[in-house]
Structure 1
Amino acid sequence: MTADDHVLARTEGHAGRLTLDRPRALNALTHPMVRRLDAALAAWERDPAVRTVVLDGAGDRGLCAGGDIRAIHDDVRAGGGTASAAFWRDEYRLNARIARYPKPYVALMDGIVMGGGVGVSAHGSVRIVTERSRVAMPETGIGFAPDVGGTFLLSRAPGELGTHLGLTGTAVGAADALLCGLADHFVPAAALPALIAELATDPADEVLSRHVRPAPPGRLAADREWIDACYAAPTVEEIVERLLDHGAPAAKEAAGTLLGRSPTSLKVTLAALRSARGLDSLEAVLEQEFRVSCAALSSPDLVEGIRAQVVDKDRNPRWNPARLADVTEEDVARFFAPDAAFGADRPLFGTDVPAPPGERPSME
């Protein structure tokens, strides 16, 4: 590891170990970290001695809080966003590599797993949550939209659960992450050290059989009635109206959350989620997300949202436009156009991309 890549990459027995190592920043991803992860995965893919890859995060707070959004804020203000677009190009390619990785990729989604943390974990073939897990795509709160393949994952959650999570940015625990297809197995946090040690010698499926337990109850299953009824509406305005009219306290709470989010981000996110349902591969969704993300670099809400949340921390963003009614269809369509400004008119993936993800690799 170099001074700036903040990834511990090593082998233990037959396991390749990747540890995100920025605990003071809750392991937020930087461009050097993305490149280091990708290089390690490429090397281990060709190494027959490595049978399993294990990803975790340093510290006791979580796997990863997302990308380094302060760096994005500073880049847009000082450099126009070019470095951020380059970061996303490599990050989204890494997400696709993880999704089609030919060896078991065991992601330990313990603690906080948000944004880019979801991207490096929830596309893996073995996704483990614990009683401490808090999984979220909170981008609309900073004037952005779910990326790193988040719209691919959320658009395939049961009913309208993914729409609810994508628009509100709500963090979910283990059972709800399992329900939404963001994770595969529950393992108590206290068992993770033993699980990691055993993966160095034993096949992943055997290790899982010894440690997987039933998850504590979640809450989304009980909320499906109002979530599916309200979020099936065709527009964000009507979703908010249905939530306010429904009667369930949680529905009104969700409406209040939405009314505090970036109006532009809400409309772009809804359009992205609906579009992602019709795209047949993660790669196709990542191409769409790259266009959306690059367009956000020239939108006032991204810098303003990050300013309010992590720079000045006044928690009082001044969105522009400030009302849902003032965000036009043309405003939304601009985010999906292949703009050449940041290379969003060039594909992320060549014609030699492997088959889209679907079949999980064998855990042998």
Structure 2
Amino acid sequence: MTGAPSETTAQTEILARVDNGIGILTLNRPKAINSLNQTMVDAMTDALKAWEHDDGVRTVLLDGAGERGLCAGGDIVAIYHSARGDGSEARKFWFDEYRLNEMIGRHPKPYVALMDGIVMGGGVGVSAHGNVRVVTDKTKMAMPEVGIGFIPDVGSTFLLPRAPGHLGLHVALTGAPISGSDAIVLGFADHFVPHHELGAFTQAVIDHDVETAVAKHAIEPPPSKLAAQQDWIDYCYAGATVLDILAGLRDHGSGESADAANIIEGRSPIALTVTLEAFRRARELNTLEEVLVQEYRVSCASLRSHDLVEGIRAQLIDKDRNPTWSPVSLTALTPADVEAYFAPAEPDLTFEGERSA
């Protein structure tokens, strides 16, 4: 066993150990489906920095404690309380979390993410930017942010707009869960390993290497239900505005399109519209870093909005599932409302120091 991270984070919310040259990071809040908090982001960052230059570590592997999933996202209740105050804790969390996402995306060693069970929000950020991303028959992935008045983040607006056709936009505007097979089609994952073989897969990585583990345990994924719907999704989501997209979904007349329209109509109007605009701007950006800077600005703007606090209240605090959005409708939005989300943050997200760390 090598490296300081295993000594400083053992028995805490991040477990870090090195086994035969494999640096293993385990998200360790199983009762919260391993939801990320500031302590966990800091511990992962410290471990990855140490292992980046440690010749005793040849590969990094990420998994989650418990049976429910890798990670259900960020600690949304903590974001809620920060947003009701001065927002400083939330801004610091996102600043550090997005820098961690970028660090994962450029890590010089193989980064194996076991995306088993629930993988949502921040869980996508610590897994989908790795270079060996494994899903299973138990994977249930989602970016459900618009349902709480937030906008997809953690680098998802780098990946989703680059998915085939308009599949990524459908996933973002509905927040609907997707399977492991769907995740591969979207570009969020690479390999499909049956859930019951994950332990053997991990042991093969430890005993041999990533290539051997993949060759022995990865299988052809089942057909993607999402990909099978691409024809109507591409047609309906080609609209210029969210209102146009809704009209396309209603006009299509299928059960799937009607279900999507019903879901979208219950989401935050400003979050939906900013998400669509963020997609379009992200397509013109070339790097994950650039997209994360845009996402940080959008996230910080969300702290000043009515809908983030209201959405979290309705879903997780009072749990009445009946948010009152403001502006109340898509037609009540102005271009200035949307543009305000893309203004530079003070201070803005930077990656200075990360390259030399």
Q: TM-score, normalised by structure 2?
A: 0.95
Alpha-carbon distance between aligned partners in 1 of 2:301 and 2:52, rounded to the nearest angstrom:
34
> Do structure 1's residue 350 and structure 2's residue 343 form an aligned pair?
no
Which of 94, 109, 114 aligns to 2:120? It is 114
Alpha-carbon distance between aligned partners in 1 of 2:353 and 2:247, rounded to the nearest angstrom:
44
How far the C-alpha of 1:3 sits from its partner, in A, is: 9.1
| Deviations 1:192-248 (CA, angstroms, capped at 9, x unpaired) | 111111211312111110000011222112211111011111100000010011012
Which of 45, 65, 79 aligns to 1:38? It is 45
Which of 39, 53, 61 aligns to 2:60? It is 53
* Higher relative contact order, structure no. (Cα contacts within 8 Å, ≥ 6 residues apart): 1
Alpha-carbon distance between aligned partners in 1 of 2:305 and 2:75, rounded to the nearest angstrom:
18
8 A Cα contact 2:113 2:134, kept in partner: yes
Alpha-carbon distance between aligned partners in 1 of 2:128 and 2:314, rounded to the nearest angstrom:
28
Residue aligning to 1:360: none
Q: Helix, strand or coil: the match of 1:106?
A: strand
Which of 204, 212, 231 aligns to 1:225? It is 231
Residue aligning to 2:159: 153
Which of 228, 239, 244 aligns to 1:238? It is 244
Amino acid corresponding to residue 172 of structure 1 in structure 2: I
8 A Cα contact 2:153 2:295, kept in partner: yes
How far the C-alpha of 1:350 sits from its partner, in A, is: 2.7
Residue aligning to 1:203: 209
Which of 138, 155, 161 aligns to 2:144? It is 138
Instruction: Check 1:3–1:12 CA distance in 2 against 1; reply closer, same or farther (3 A cut).
Output: closer
**Counterparts of 1:96-107 in structure 2 under 5 Å?**
96-107=102-113
Alpha-carbon distance between aligned partners in 2 of 1:275 and 1:72, rounded to the nearest angstrom:
26
What is the number of residues matched between the two proteins? 349
How far the C-alpha of 1:191 sits from its partner, in A, is: 0.6
Alpha-carbon distance between aligned partners in 1 of 2:125 and 2:354, rounded to the nearest angstrom:
22
8 A Cα contact 2:9 2:43, kept in partner: no
Residue aligning to 1:75: 82
Q: Helix, strand or coil: the match of 1:335?
A: helix
Instruction: Check 1:272–1:4 CA distance in 2 against 1; reply closer, same or farther (3 A cut).
Output: farther
Amino acid corresponding to residue 66 of structure 1 in structure 2: G
Instruction: Check 1:238–1:353 CA distance in 2 against 1; reply closer, same or farther (3 A cut).
Output: farther
8 A Cα contact 1:66 1:115, kept in partner: yes
Alpha-carbon distance between aligned partners in 1 of 2:49 and 2:317, rounded to the nearest angstrom:
36
**Counterparts of 1:258-297 in structure 2 under 5 Å?**
258-297=264-303
Amino acid corresponding to residue 135 of structure 2 in structure 1: V
Runs of 4+ in 1 over 4 A off after TM superposition: 1-5, 351-354
Amino acid corresponding to residue 267 of structure 2 in structure 1: R
8 A Cα contact 2:141 2:179, kept in partner: yes
| Deviations 1:255-301 (CA, angstroms, capped at 9, x unpaired) | 00000000000000000011111100000000000000000000010
How far the C-alpha of 1:347 sits from its partner, in A, is: 3.7
Residue aligning to 1:337: 343
How far the C-alpha of 1:13 sits from its partner, in A, is: 1.1
Residue aligning to 2:198: 192
Which of 179, 182, 188 aligns to 1:176? It is 182
Q: Helix, strand or coil: the match of 1:56?
A: strand
**Counterparts of 1:87-102 in structure 2 under 5 Å?**
87-102=93-108
> Do structure 1's residue 26 and structure 2's residue 28 form an aligned pair?
no
Amino acid corresponding to residue 349 of structure 1 in structure 2: F
Q: Which runs of 5+ in 2 are unaligned?
A: 1-7
Alpha-carbon distance between aligned partners in 1 of 2:11 and 2:305, rounded to the nearest angstrom:
29
| Deviations 1:44-81 (CA, angstroms, capped at 9, x unpaired) | 1111111111101010000000000000001122x321
> Do structure 1's residue 65 and structure 2's residue 67 form an aligned pair?
no
Q: Helix, strand or coil: the match of 2:15?
A: strand
Q: TM-score, normalised by structure 1?
A: 0.93
Alpha-carbon distance between aligned partners in 2 of 1:49 and 1:184, rounded to the nearest angstrom:
26
How far the C-alpha of 1:353 sits from its partner, in A, is: 5.2
Residue aligning to 1:124: 130
How far the C-alpha of 1:137 sits from its partner, in A, is: 0.6
8 A Cα contact 2:95 2:349, kept in partner: no
Alpha-carbon distance between aligned partners in 1 of 2:121 and 2:216, rounded to the nearest angstrom:
30
8 A Cα contact 1:5 1:36, kept in partner: no
